[in-house]
A = this chain, B = another copy of it.
Amino acid sequence: MAQIAFIGLGNMGGPMALNLIKAGHTLSVFDLNPAALDNAKQGGAKVANSPEEAVREADFVISMLPSSPHVESLYIEKNLFQSIKKGALIADCSTIAPDSARKVAKAANEQGFEMVDAPVSGGVGGAQAGTLTFIVGGSPAAFEKIKPILSAMGKNIFHAGDSGTGQVAKICNNMLLAIHMIGTSEALNLGVNCGIDPKTLSEIMKVSSGRNWSLEVYNPLPGVMENVPASKNYSGGFGVDLMAKDLGLSQEAAISSRTSTPLGSLALSLYRAHSRNGSGKLDFSSILQFLKGSS
């Protein structure tokens, strides 16, 4: 079992850290929020007074932070590397810009450390259940070394390639998810307005070329499928604001790589307008309601 430092105990990081403890690892944790630290302490973690203190004895350093600036600030501006033990492996599980992930990994390498980006999908539910998906960018050796650790928190652990490709795969996947969610919403809404029963339409498209994940497991029209957010007033699930954040990352990547993504960029504008009209906390399948409207 390993000595692990865990920095960032939010809605995702908190339960992830507890799952590492349950798997038998020794954890030293840090967060700015005292309540989050208390919670981890009750779960068996050793609470540190600073990131520097948290990482000092660790063989693995794991961070789970809200955005690129937080990650760059922790590792580069505060130069956390100075406090990390020689030979430790660093994994950042935050969802951030690929360019940012590469910049931090390069800085790590320059100070003699291996670092992987390992963004997750699966949401708070997956974090609690230990069934997250991790997409890892880094060397094959680093991937093999981090895999058993991540396995305590997740079910599927993918190796996407070199540094940054974990982030690339995540933002490409989520952009595609947003697109087929909106597309599925448009198709169902159009069908209903043209007089077809939405359950029948869903069944037909599920076994035809329109088939996609949103249609199969996450139908956005209330009443078509049980136990999905659409049938629970769009509560739970993956929030509109979180989807907008990921779409923002994909658009930043499109701008810097000079890539044309007409549907992806439109998806961001639609989710942003939906959020601005008061739906930022609803599940992202509520985009159907935004298009369908109330009148």
User: Which residues of A approach B to under 8 Å, CB–CB?
Assistant: 98, 121, 133, 135, 156, 158-162, 164-165, 168-169, 171-177, 179-180, 182-184, 186-191, 193-197, 200-201, 203-205, 207-213, 215-216, 218, 244, 248, 250-255, 257-270, 272-273, 275-278, 280, 290-295
Contacts and interface: CB of A to CB of B under 8 A. Distances in A.
Given A208-B133, A276-B258, A276-B293, A250 B190 contact: yes
A179 B172 contact: no
A89 to B, nearest CB: 21
A260 B272 contact: yes
Contact of A191 (B169, B179, B180, B211): B169
A263 B209 contact: no
Q: How many copies are assembled?
A: 4
B191 A172 contact: yes
Given A177-B209, A201-B172, A209-B177, A193 B257 contact: yes
A269 to B, nearest CB: 4
Contacts of A186: 175-176, 179, 259-264
Contacts of A189: 259-261
